[in-house]
């Protein structure tokens, strides 16, 4: 039996936000206040991914050092929302990539650095890099394919969802999957704290311990799922038999290539089995949806 997700009954999951801002760039709260907010919500870690770009109006010119805010029960990961010019549908012509685990001396892009070049530089520096809010700034298929080496796509961005209903990433994710590219998915807040844009989207990471290095290693190996309130308990695959266990939901959907899908629908579903023997797709991803709209997303699984 292949454990597609670590069993939540047998290991510890850490809850965290990978995309958020402080007064180091354009957030409303200090780094200390941001950490206090997430601690109060019961999170285990957060990332102050302040904007990193040469424009001083809303961006910082350095990666924020938050190490002094770490404790035995809560950690931060040095991060940045890194920018460069050349994005087609953005009012500032800027690309937005979230890079978690950046070294503190990671430099802002120059005016002539391209998005693929910036991505490669962040990857070489050891960061976990995500295509941020693809729906918000209308990322085209061509743009997404040019950055297919990113680790992940934001499947949900809470700030963009509640501010302009452009918080999704399914379209870009599925284009990349249809073209054969392998990557993960994340749900985030993109919190700025000018409105209640925090505590809406997060990742649950099965790391060996609560440290930045262990969390990054687990993220890179896909040992996590994303959520706005629906939780996976276990997901296993034995030959063509997929079993999904979760918190009570109304819908469990298995999506694959082209338009292939399978689903279970009802009330308070906590377990569903799917026979994939006739599922004509090399990959699948699982989405949970509760009666109150709470969501959960697995990472894509390439199973044959």
**What tens digit of pLDDT does each residue of 21-40 get?**
999 999 999 999 999 999 99
pLDDT confidence of residue 182: 98
- For residue 160, is pLDDT > 90? yes
| 215, containing H or E segment | helix 212-220
- pLDDT class for 269, splitting at 50, 70, 90? very high
Please write the tens of the pLDDT for every residue from 228-237.
999 999 999 9
Using one digit for the tens of pLDDT, what is the confidence trace for 113-122? Answer: 999 999 999 9
Whether 210 is in a domain gets the answer yes
Long-range contacts of 106-110, Cβ-Cβ distance < 8 Å, separation of 24 or more: 106/52, 106/63, 106/80, 106/82, 108/52, 108/53, 108/54, 108/59, 108/61, 108/82, 108/83, 109/53, 109/54, 109/82, 109/83, 109/84, 109/85, 110/54, 110/84
Is 128 inside any structural domain?
yes
Write b or e for each residue in 122-148: b if 16 or more Cβ atoms lie within 10 A of its Cβ, otherwise e.
beeeebbbbbbbbbbbebeeebbeebb
Asked if pLDDT for residue 295 goes beyond 90, the answer is yes
Last residue in a domain, options 162, 193, 225: 225
Instruction: Tell me how long the chain is.
Output: 304
Using one digit for the tens of pLDDT, what is the confidence trace for 229-262?
999 999 999 999 999 999 999 999 999 999 999 9
Q: What is the pLDDT of residue 161?
A: 98
Q: Give how far Cα 175 sits from Cα of 42, 43, 123, 182, 185, Å.
A: 35, 32, 22, 11, 13
Mean pLDDT of the 150-178 span = 98
Same domain for 201 and 237, yes or no, is no
CATH code (residue 242): 2.60.40
Q: Is the pLDDT of residue 196 over 90?
A: yes
Query: What is the extent of the structural domain holding 154?
Result: 12-225
Instruction: Let me know if residue 201 belongs to a domain.
Output: yes
Residue 273 has pLDDT above 90, yes or no: yes
Among 191, 207, 225, residue at a domain's last position: 225
* DSSP summary character for residue 103: -
| Total tally of structural domains belonging to the chain | 2
Same domain for 258 and 113, yes or no, is no
pLDDT in tens, 40-77: 999 999 999 999 999 999 999 999 999 999 999 999 99
Any residues with CB less than 8 A from the CB of 52 and at least 6 apart, and which?
A: 25, 59, 60, 61, 62, 63, 80, 81, 82, 83, 106, 108
> Do 242 and 213 fall into the same domain?
no
In this structure, the answer to whether residues 218 and 276 fall within a common structural domain is no
Asked whether residue 141 falls in the same domain as residue 284, the answer is: no
C-alpha 169: how far from chain center: 10
Distance CA 302, CA 304 (A): 6
Q: What is the pLDDT of residue 1?
A: 78
Last residue of some domain: 202, 225, 248?
Answer: 225
Q: How high is the mean pLDDT of the chain?
A: 97
Task: Say yes or no: 182 and 284 in one domain.
Answer: no
Determine, yes or no, domain membership for 255: yes
Shared domain for 213 and 106, answered yes or no, is: yes
Lowest mean pLDDT segment, chosen from 6-15, 39-48, 210-219, 279-288: 6-15
């Amino acid at each position: 039996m292949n454990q597609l997700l670590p069993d939540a009954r047998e290991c510890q999951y850490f809850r965290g936000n990978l995309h958020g801002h402080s007064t180091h760039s354009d957030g409303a709260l200090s780094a200390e206040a941001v950490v206090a907010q997430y601690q109060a919500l019961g999170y285990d870690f957060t990332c102050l991914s302040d904007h990193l770009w040469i424009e001083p109006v809303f961006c910082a010119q350095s990666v924020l050092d938050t190490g002094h805010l770490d404790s035995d029960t809560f950690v931060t990961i040095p991060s940045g929302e890194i920018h460069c010019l050349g994005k087609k549908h953005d009012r500032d012509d800027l690309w937005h990539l979230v890079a978690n685990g950046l070294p503190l001396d990671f430099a802002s892009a120059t005016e002539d650095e391209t998005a693929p070049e910036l991505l490669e530089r962040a990857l070489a520096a050891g960061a976990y890099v995500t295509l941020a809010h693809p729906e918000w700034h209308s990322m085209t298929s061509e743009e997404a394919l040019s950055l297919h080496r990113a680790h992940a796509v934001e499947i949900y961005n809470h700030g963009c969802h509640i501010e302009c209903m452009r918080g999704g990433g399914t379209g870009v994710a599925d284009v990349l999957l249809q073209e054969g590219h392998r990557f993960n998915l994340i749900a985030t807040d993109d919190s700025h704290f000018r409105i209640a844009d925090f505590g809406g989207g997060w990742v649950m990471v099965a790391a060996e311990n609560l440290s930045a290095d262990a969390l990054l290693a687990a993220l890179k190996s896909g040992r996590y799922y994303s959520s706005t309130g629906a939780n996976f308990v276990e997901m296993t695959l034995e030959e063509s038999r997929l079993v999904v266990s979760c918190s009570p939901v109304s819908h469990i959907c298995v999506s694959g290539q082209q338009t292939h899908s399978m689903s279970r629908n009802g009330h308070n579903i906590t377990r569903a089995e799917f026979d994939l023997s006739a599922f004509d797709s090399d990959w699948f991803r699982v989405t949970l949806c509760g009666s109150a709209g709470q969501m959960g997303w697995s990472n894509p699984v390439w199973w044959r």
